[in-house]
Amino acid sequence: MQDKLQGSWNRREILGAAALLASALGVPAAAASFARIDVDEAPTSRQRALMKVVSQIVIPRTDTPGAGDVGAGDFVILALAHGLENARKPFSDSAPYARFLRADGSFRHVAWIESELDGRAGEDFLASAPDKQLGLVTQLDAEAYAARATESPWKAIKALILTGYYTSEAGASRELRYEPVPGRFDPDLPLTPDFRAVSNDWTAVDFG
Amino acid sequence: MQFDAIVVGSGITGGWAAKELTQAGLKVLMIERGREIVHGEYENELKDPWQMPLRGAGDADLFAREYSVQMLNRQFNEYTQGHFVNDKDNPYSTAPGSKFNWLRSYQLGGRSLTWGRQSYRWSDYDFSANKRDGNGTDWPIRYADLAPWYDKVEEFIGVSGAAEGLPQLPDGRFQPAMALNVVEQHARKAIAEKFGRCMTVGRVANMTQAKPDEGRSECQNRSICARGCSFGAYFSTQSSTLPAAKATGNLTVLTDAIVEAVDYDAKTNRVTGVRYVNTKDGTRGSATTRMVFLNAGAFNSVHLLLNSRSAAMPNGLANGSGALGTQIMDHASTLSTIALFPQFSDRTSFGNRPTGVVVARYRNMDTMDGVGHTRGYSYQGGALQSNWGAGKREAGIGEALKTRLRSPGMWRMVLVAFADCVPRDSNRLTLDPVKTDRFGIPQLQIQFAFGKEEQAALAQAKADAAEMMVAAGGNVIMGSDQPGTGGMAIHEMGGARMGHDPKASVLNKWSQAHDVPNLFVTDGAQMASSACQNPSLTYMALTARACDAAVKMLREGKI
């Protein structure tokens, strides 16, 4: 599917995308900016749709929203454009990914995932049945984490889906427990099945 | 502008100098190179992650371009980036073959806004270290000289901690201690029983009892201190010393002004004032004074002395000894061990305690039991459960992943060793002969390397740490004995050391320049050795003590 915006992404449309992103992220338009994305790297509408679907597969809707529902797909695109999760770091062996490399050796993650999933599906991934989509992403994920040292662009994408979800209002405060001012420290509590991990101030305690 | 005293810098020690000197009735000018930050108006303190452009993680590309050193600080993120310097705008150089990560905060309050808040007294094992093993030069003071000043500082800033009766880590005037969590309680007991070593909760300048008269609340257990704390629950210039100094009516604060030189009058052998650059427009200004306190941060105070060279003092102000710039130090630190504690998987905690644990030094005290080194190391760390971030490193998607990340994850305990850094003449600061900053001020050049003593200490620390974790029932998964790059402990110090001998040291026992009686340096530059404790509490005690002495000398007409 050839997106009509491909290759003709101009400044006005970049700003439009920034506004779209801003609404998805719940931040002022000025804050979410594609200004530093090269013109050929701005996402197509299909890529945005695909990233939303993939996000929703990684964190599906249950009694709380899924990652696609809360805009994690657009967050992943924005975050990759700003180099999060070491997205600029070249792989030790990038030959298998030559088509998706920039001049500096870093990846075009979004183009890669689009091509990868279409290829695995043998058809338009977005038109595949939900069970098939789930199976393909499950397989991709298992391969990427087969060994600790395995290098795969999927790792950064998945990491950013999780960040996008658990730092969203719904992910942080409905799926998990968000109490930005705990006011106390309880050093020893029973961990019961209904205890929800605390998400507040995720930058405070970063042991992963 | 004419003042009784000029204080250069507004961080941990600058705030103390301003407070002590203004409370003694002196008219004080405090000059800060960075911007003003007003207490209670911390830009990102109260924002939720979904209100941040990149969710608190921040713009990695921007960081790589403009914060390439500061981004290495664990406290650095999108929320706090405004509390750290822009490396591109604030260059320094390193000598060939040297690496040094200089972590800095140029703003009103300096690093008091971003510090780790760990507050430990030094002991006579530390003040006699140089004399005992012959490295560096002997301290002209001992613990007894500083003990009453530690009392004063702790009571004012508010330090929570547990009294343990250890000679190597003297007890202070503590507010009630924060609690050890369930895993740490267990580890403390096992380590005490098996090794006779003490693991205690980190003594920290976060209060557990409010000081309502000073508008300071007790800690809310957010552990986001480096954003700034409008509760005033941790010690910073803004929360503590600045309001006290301002209340005297004797304080003038000048921000956005880099002091480029201290003026010296050879006829009277006195410093007479400072010259500064207004960073907003590049214009120059000056102020005159009866005495100068340098509190610009260890390396910047040395930089200023070097850059204040004159015809009378061509090698730098107060550098008759030639010692200025030499014997800089930073703790050699590394992640000695990480251990898993799956047996506690039915326990958890609530709240973000803003401190960890400390294992007090136990080597080379009354028995020289260090292997290949003559000094001490101690550990800081703690036990934490993993959070949703664990999902980034493991296979798994879908509802099963979502369910798993809903609960706190595996308990893990880390111990980070901090080893005493031997003072060496080869580790030193100079003015770069060529490079300047945007105002034409010569850049500081840092020459630094750890030596075999620090390497040996960290090797022993790694082995010991693993033993302690195993004794506590932990499953050790990794550990390191390689020191991080110099600067990463953010305990850089020395360069204008205190000493008995004017020919071998820059300052006397009152933090006063041997060569120039009305010049005092009371930040980390004055340190003659590094100990293995976090140094800021000692800097504050030395500052309060020096201010008291300086005021007496001024009143007696001696300076």
Q: Is B162 on the interface with A (CB under 8 A)?
A: no
Q: Which residues of A touch B412 (CB under 8 A)?
A: 207
| Distance to chain B for A107, nearest Cα, Å | 14
* pLDDT tens track for A135-192: 999 999 999 999 888 899 999 999 999 999 999 999 999 999 999 999 999 999 999 9
| Distance to chain A for B28, nearest Cα, Å | 37
Does residue A16 surpass a pLDDT of 70? no
Residue with tokens 């449309």: A13
Does residue A47 surpass a pLDDT of 70? yes
| Distance to chain B for A203, nearest Cα, Å | 7
Of B46, B353, B408, the CB nearest to A197: B408
Write down the pLDDT at residue A37: 53
| Distance to chain B for A50, nearest Cα, Å | 16
Domain membership of residue A170 as a residue range: 43-175
* pLDDT tens track for B67-99: 999 999 989 999 999 999 999 999 999 999 999
Interface predicted TM-score of the whole assembly (ipTM), two decimals: 0.95
In a domain, residue A200? The reply is no
Arithmetic mean of pLDDT, B514-533:
98
CB-based burial label for B224 (10 Å; 0-12, 13-18, 19+): buried
Taking the C-alpha atoms of residue B284 and residue B304, their distance in angstroms, rounded to an integer, is 16
> For residue B439, how many other CB atoms are within 10 A of its CB?
13
In a domain, residue A83? The reply is yes
Does residue B201 surpass a pLDDT of 50? yes
Taking the C-alpha atoms of residue B28 and residue B80, their distance in angstroms, rounded to an integer, is 30
Please compute, for residue B531, the number of CA atoms within 13 A of its CA located in the half-sphere on the CB side.
24
SS3 readout for chain A: CCCCCCCCCCHHHHHHHHHHHHHHHCCCCCCCCCCCCCHHHCCCHHHHHHHHHHHHHHCCCCCCCCCCCCCHHHHHHHHHHCCCCCCCCCCCCCHHHHHHECCCCCECHHHHHHHHHHHHHCCCHHHCCHHHHHHHHHHHHHHHCCCCCCCCHHHHHHHHHHHHHHCCHHHHHHHCECCCCCCCCEEEEECCCCCCCECCCCCCCCCC
In a domain, residue A197? The reply is no
* pLDDT tens track for B313-359: 999 999 999 999 999 999 999 999 999 999 999 999 999 999 999 99
In a domain, residue A7? The reply is no
Arithmetic mean of pLDDT, B153-182:
98
Residue B516: closest CA among B250, B226, B210, B263: B263
- pLDDT bin (cut points 50, 70, 90) of residue A34 is very low
Query: In Å, how far are B80, B140, B152, B171, B545 from B145, measured between CA atoms?
Result: 37, 10, 13, 16, 9
Taking the C-alpha atoms of residue B413 and residue B514, their distance in angstroms, rounded to an integer, is 47
H or E stretch at B348? strand B347-350
Chain CA centroid to CA B190, Å: 31
- pLDDT bin (cut points 50, 70, 90) of residue A102 is confident
Q: Is A39 on the interface with B (CB under 8 A)?
A: no
Does residue A22 surpass a pLDDT of 80? no
Does residue B200 surpass a pLDDT of 50? yes
- pLDDT bin (cut points 50, 70, 90) of residue A30 is very low
* Partner-chain contact A144 B395, CB within 8 Å: yes
Q: Which A positions 91-110 lie with beta carbon below 8 A of chain B?
A: none
In a domain, residue A92? The reply is yes
* Partner-chain contact B350 A198, CB within 8 Å: yes
Q: What percent of chain A has pLDDT over 90?
A: 65
H or E stretch at B343? none
Of A87, A168, A197, the CB nearest to B407: A197
In a domain, residue A88? The reply is yes
H or E stretch at B6? strand B2-8
Residue A120: closest CA among A100, A132, A136: A136
pTM, entire model: 0.94
In a domain, residue A165? The reply is yes
Q: Is B40 left (phi over 0), alpha (psi -120 to 50) or beta?
A: left
Q: Is B230 on the interface with A (CB under 8 A)?
A: no
Q: Is A117 on the interface with B (CB under 8 A)?
A: no
Q: Is A38 on the interface with B (CB under 8 A)?
A: no
Write down the pLDDT at residue A205: 55
Q: DSSP string covering B501-512, please? A: -TTT-SB-TTSB
* Partner-chain contact A197 B393, CB within 8 Å: no
Q: Is A54 on the interface with B (CB under 8 A)?
A: no
| Distance to chain A for B407, nearest Cα, Å | 5
Average pLDDT, chain B: 97
Residue B308: closest CA among B285, B288, B297, B324: B324
The answer to whether the beta carbons of residues B303 and B401 sit under 8 Å apart is no
- pLDDT bin (cut points 50, 70, 90) of residue A202 is low
* pLDDT tens track for B405-421: 999 999 999 999 999 99
Of A164, A187, A205, the CB nearest to B352: A205
SS3 B272: strand
The answer to whether the beta carbons of residues B122 and B143 sit under 8 Å apart is yes
Counting the structural domains of chain A, the total is 1
| Distance to chain A for B472, nearest Cα, Å | 17
Q: Which residues of A touch B396 (CB under 8 A)?
A: 141
Q: Is B187 left (phi over 0), alpha (psi -120 to 50) or beta?
A: alpha
* pLDDT tens track for B274-286: 999 999 999 999 9
SS3 B320: coil
* Partner-chain contact A197 B406, CB within 8 Å: yes
Q: Is B259 left (phi over 0), alpha (psi -120 to 50) or beta?
A: beta
Nearest CA in chain A to B227: A204
In a domain, residue A181? The reply is no
Taking the C-alpha atoms of residue B113 and residue B316, their distance in angstroms, rounded to an integer, is 31
Taking the C-alpha atoms of residue B8 and residue B116, their distance in angstroms, rounded to an integer, is 22
Taking the C-alpha atoms of residue B30 and residue B251, their distance in angstroms, rounded to an integer, is 7
**For residue B296, what are its two tokens?**
């610009």
Q: Which residues of A touch B182 (CB under 8 A)?
A: 187-188
| Distance to chain A for B134, nearest Cα, Å | 41
Write down the pLDDT at residue A96: 86
Q: Which residues of A touch B78 (CB under 8 A)?
A: 203
